[in-house]
Structure 1
């Protein structure tokens, strides 16, 4: 048997190595996607009499960068942007091409499309119109992009506190739901009235925020209820190391290396970011898929709580009685 005096140095060394490995993974998770930003099948519309020529030129210049669709005219191109079917459009005219962007969908893609159109026209300036603009107080989307991490971290922190400080699984669930309601109302009040990051209906944005909190906090707390404290770590690491860097909050899913951009959209942070954009800037266009994804995560969280409640009941003394899901 190992002497007690030998355990502490070995344990300290083991923990140091584990912390180093975790740090390396976090650096890779956060830095790698952003260091490989590039257009990959970005939905783009071309329109006008020279649309076919524009499409061929774009494909020759940047093969695989754009998923190009042709539309009959500028009005049809604008509808595609408003419906979130494309990030931008290049319209040919007798006097040269002009660009229509939707910076609310992705300021970064809007900048890239503007630069690309300028390259196509040579020295002649290319007119650029923003059909669906980002909030005027956050034109580059910087503030919007920073919202994801605080929501994730606060959701994880809330789940950990509920798990460690509330013994009853039922009341943990009540606490998570209350946190979602209060957090949704307060965060929306701050983001709209103080920081001016999100336009649109206050109640709709508050609902999306509450749903995002439920998916993150509910899943982490549900994992804690179902499999113990290890579940807290599993949920926290999943959302921090995968969910946040792959959310594309500051870019777009099509700019991330694939399939990571697609994976990010089926995790709560990425789905929440997409839903925020749709509700705040596009009148709910293309909101069905992220809404279904967040709803599925919420249902999974409830199932985890139910499993945790059954697990808790089986291990509880006969004298304890709690409503519904109990510990």
Structure 2
């Protein structure tokens, strides 16, 4: 009978908890809240899904050549251009050079993608596999047909072959990709390190970028994916800082939308326009236009020039990478200045002795604790709500709730009511730290984004402090968590 009574009591508590959890509004009035919750939660995966469809399926599903520059030796360049234009409009840009040596030099000097020497039984084609295996294959196929129409057998010479471990010519793309995405993810992870200030986070990004650059170069070199040239480490380091510092600098300006902006810049737009997986001459015009400006494409161009073309034309892409680093540093400095200005303004407002307003409705809201589930007319709507329970899900009354800014300045203190619930109003529109603490339990802390008009809920589950057993180190280890 005692067990039945206990079960009945637990069922009653669960029923009351469910009733408290259910919104007071009806289905019609709760629909806008549901829509807002879904929109704020699912916008990033929806954005990523649409981005992959547009930025990957569109340029990669059917690569076709666009304005591939070919140096043709001899006076027949004009006739060849007309024939290719009729077959594939806009695919090739033909320019005439003096002889076979000039056609070859145009390719090795990066003035043309290919060189063609027509005439005779053995017309020659100069290609550079370093510019991309797909482009090399396309050129061989096209000019083999041209040679066969004139009764010749095409002879192909690769004047810039890739390293022995890079059979498909895409090794540089995967090397650059391996340093791009972790640089962005590092920023995402460091945002959780609330104990680190801005300076420590920047130093961490710099040190991490240097380590990744050395390890990536050594790994690729050990696999024979790239030739040996230690200057590549500096170029890779510039990319890591271009992505990491710019991403970190964007955080204060885009806040909760930062993941979408950074992923859009450095993944969705950078990868298709990089010319690494698919040569840039074979993607749509929008991505070809982005190629000279995005970090991934510029690092690939710099490494191609360094490894395979005797450092030809590496100055411009290196300068573009440096420009991205400068932009990132400027964004970080601007964000710091904006934050300091806001803090000074807030302190000045707190210190100023303002006269009381005749109409309290016009006073600016200040951070304050409010009674949970209180709906007084004219009262402040809670910005932050939540509940604190023990390890069994039972409410914990009297738990201290402290809200601090990102720099540790205390904004307000509250305590949970008899149902373990708390509420706060008037919080500023930025990230705050919420700390739940009780003398006999392990404290828990979470970082939340407070937004006026969009209440946020943060629940905590506090576990008991570890029991101390004499002579047994580490006995009774436990922890605290939030949900």
What's the TM-score, normalizing by structure 2? Answer: 0.60
**Does structure 2 retain, via aligned residues, the 8 Å contact 1:220–1:236?**
no
Question: Kindly tell me: are residues 303 and 95 of structure 1, through their superposed partners in 2, closer, same or farther at Cα, counting changes over 3 Å?
Answer: same
Size of the alignment, in residue pairs?
A: 317
Alignment correspondent of 1:149: 177
* 1:185 aligns with one of 210, 214, 219: 214
SS in structure 1 of the partner of residue 224 of structure 2:
coil
Contact 1:91/1:99, CA 8 A, preserved across alignment: yes
Q: 2:146 aligned with 1:105, yes or no?
A: no
> For residues 292 and 303 of structure 2, what CA distance do their matches in structure 1 show?
13
Paired position in structure 2 for 1:206: 233
Match of 1:62 among 82, 88, 95: 88
Relative to its length, the structure with more helix (as a share) is: 1
1:21 to 1:212, Cα distance in 2 relative to 1, 3 A? closer
**Which SS does the other structure have where 1:67 is aligned?**
strand
- What's the CA shift string for 1:262-315, capped at 9, x where partnerless? 213311112122112111211221212212211111110010111122133335
Q: CA RMSD in A?
A: 2.6
What is the CA-CA distance between 1:75 and the residue it aligns to?
Answer: 1.3
Give a deviation string over 1:166-196, Cα, whole Å, max 9, x none: 5322222212221221111111011111x22
Higher mean C-alpha deviation, range 241-250 or range 212-221: 241-250
Q: Where do 5+ consecutive residues of structure 1 fail to align? A: 321-327
Say if 1:231 and 1:51 are closer, same or farther in 2 by CA, change over 3 A: same
Listed as ranges, the matches of 1:234-245 within 5 Å are: 234-245=261-272
In the TM superposition, what are the counterparts of 1:1-327 in structure 2 within 5 Å? 3=25, 6=30, 9-10=34-35, 13-14=38-39, 15-16=41-42, 19-48=45-74, 50-122=76-148, 124-165=152-193, 167-193=196-222, 195-201=223-229, 203-315=230-342
> Would you say the 8 A contact 2:272–2:278 is kept in 1?
no
Q: Return the alpha-carbon distance in structure 2 between the equivalents of residues 124 and 83 of structure 1.
A: 27
Using the TM superposition, give the Cα deviation of residue 145 of structure 1 relative to its aligned residue in structure 2, in angstroms.
3.0
CA apart distance, 1:260: 2.0
How far apart, CA to CA, are the structure 1 residues paired with 2:340 and 2:281?
Answer: 46
1:91-112 CA deviation, whole Å, 9 max, x = no partner? 1243342111011112211111
The normalised TM-score by structure 1 is 0.87
Q: Higher RCO, 1 or 2 (CA under 8 Å, sep at least 6)?
A: 1
Q: Secondary structure of 2:111's partner?
A: coil
